[in-house]
Structures are given as C-alpha cells and as structure tokens.
C-alpha cells in the first residue's frame, strides 16, 4: 500500500496512548501472561493479537472464548484490571519520540488522547510518562457509548477540540484503534506495536522517532480551531 502524503491542512491531532505514547503494553502483557499461565497456556504474539487494543470488557470476552469459559468474560476483565493496576504502580515511561512529537504537534494545533483504557489507567499512564501536562484533553473507553473499534472516542476528541475529523490526524498502533480512527474519518498514521503484515494506514512508521514525523509536526501551520 503506497502511503499518502502527510497532510498539511490539519485542525487537530489525536493520539492513542497504550503502546503508542506510553510503554504500557509491557504492563498489559505481564498481566495477560499471568492469566494465560493460570489457565495452563502460553502467551505469545498470537495470543497478544487477541487482546491488544481492546477494552477490558472486550479482552475479557476474548479470553473467555479462547479458554472455553463462556460467561467468564467479566471475571477475567476484572482480573486483568487488577493485574495492570499492579504493573502500572511501578511506573511506565514515554516511548521514544513521544514527548517530542506531542510537543511539536501541540505547538501548532490542538491535541488530544483517545484511549480504549478506562479513565483510571489512562490517567496513571499519562502522568507516569510525564505527558499529562501536554495532553490536557483526553477521552477514555468508559466515557463514550461505544469504545474502539467504534468511532466514538475519536469523534468525541475532535468535537472537544472543535476540529473536523476529515481534517484531523490519528496516531494508532493496533488494528482495533485503526478501525476506530478510520470509522471516524481521520487520516491514520500507524506505528504498529505488533509485527503484522501490511497494517492498515495512510502513513506507516516503525516508530515515533522517524525524522519525517517530527519535521511534519514542526511544519504544521499554527491555526487552532476554537475549542468548545
């Protein structure tokens, strides 16, 4: 898939959080690995693909189906939440290039976070990584009617920033998040957390440190849409 040119007519930039801005996927993976181990199963890339980018409820349902435990989704989701809480208590760092890119975008256009994590975990992650001050506008999975892959989170973020989704950019790392940004009509910059062949994207990058991304962010015209 040939990438589209990076857009210049941009009203807002909306970032995913886990695995994109903050190195929390290691926390999620440890918690997920423990649950799989308790069911006598290994946890590798194939299993990670079942749960990455999903809400706690969706991840719990996916695990229940995988384990052959119908009706256990809520209990597994609660177990996963407790595990991630414990892991995040030790802190999580911003991923390479995240702080620089966020600051560069925020200097020109309104920015926000749209995350499939619950508010509790989102706030902990952003604060731990030192990004909260740069991203005062954020939306969590438990604050919209339908989380990712539905478009609600991205639409809510664009509305809060007073931006047209068609003139906004999403940064995503998972198929679930990409689908949400697509459904909302944003231009999608994909920075994959998993090694997947040909992930959906308008522009694909191996990391946030790619020089072209920083150059693009610094080239954006400072034309802030009025926030609502």
> Please, what are the averages of pLDDT over each run of 10 residues along the chain (228 residues)?
75 97 93 96 93 93 96 96 93 96 97 97 96 97 97 98 98 96 98 84 96 94 52
Q: Where are the beta strands (DSSP E) in 65-196?
A: 111-114, 138-139, 168-172, 187-190
Are 160 and 135 contacting, i.e. CB atoms less than 8 angstroms apart? no
Question: At which residue do the structure tokens 């664009």 appear?
Answer: 158
DSSP 8-class letter at 155: H
3-state DSSP: the chain helix, strand, coil percent, rounded to 5? 45, 10, 45
Cβ pair 118, 142 in contact under 8 A: yes
**pLDDT value at residue 227:** 46
pTM above 0.95, yes or no: no
Looking at residue 194, its pLDDT comes to 82
Cα 109 to Cα 107: distance, rounded to the nearest angstrom: 6
Output the CA angle 158-190-170, nearest 5 degrees.
5
């Amino acid at each position: 898939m040939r990438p589209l040119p990076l857009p210049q007519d941009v009203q807002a930039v909306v970032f995913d959080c886990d695995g994109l801005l903050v190195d929390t996927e290691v926390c999620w993976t440890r918690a997920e690995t423990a649950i799989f181990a308790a069911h006598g199963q290994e946890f590798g890339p194939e299993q990670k693909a079942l749960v990455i980018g999903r809400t706690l409820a969706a991840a719990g349902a996916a695990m229940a189906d995988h384990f052959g435990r119908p009706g256990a989704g809520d209990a597994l989701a609660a177990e996963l939440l407790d595990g991630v809480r414990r892991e995040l208590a030790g802190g999580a760092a911003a991923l390479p290039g995240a702080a620089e890119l966020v600051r560069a975008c925020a200097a020109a256009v309104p920015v926000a976070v749209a995350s499939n994590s619950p508010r509790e975990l989102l706030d902990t992650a952003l604060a731990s990584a030192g990004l909260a001050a740069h991203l005062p506008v954020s939306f969590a999975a438990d604050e919209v009617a339908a989380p990712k892959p539905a478009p609600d989170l991205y639409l809510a973020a664009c509305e809060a920033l007073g931006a047209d989704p068609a003139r906004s950019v999403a940064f995503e790392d998972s198929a679930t998040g990409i689908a949400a940004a697509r459904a909302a009509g944003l231009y999608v910059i994909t920075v994959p957390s998993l090694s997947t062949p040909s992930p959906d994207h308008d522009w694909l990058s191996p990391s946030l440190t790619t020089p072209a991304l920083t150059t693009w962010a610094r080239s954006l015209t400072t034309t802030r849409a009025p926030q609502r």
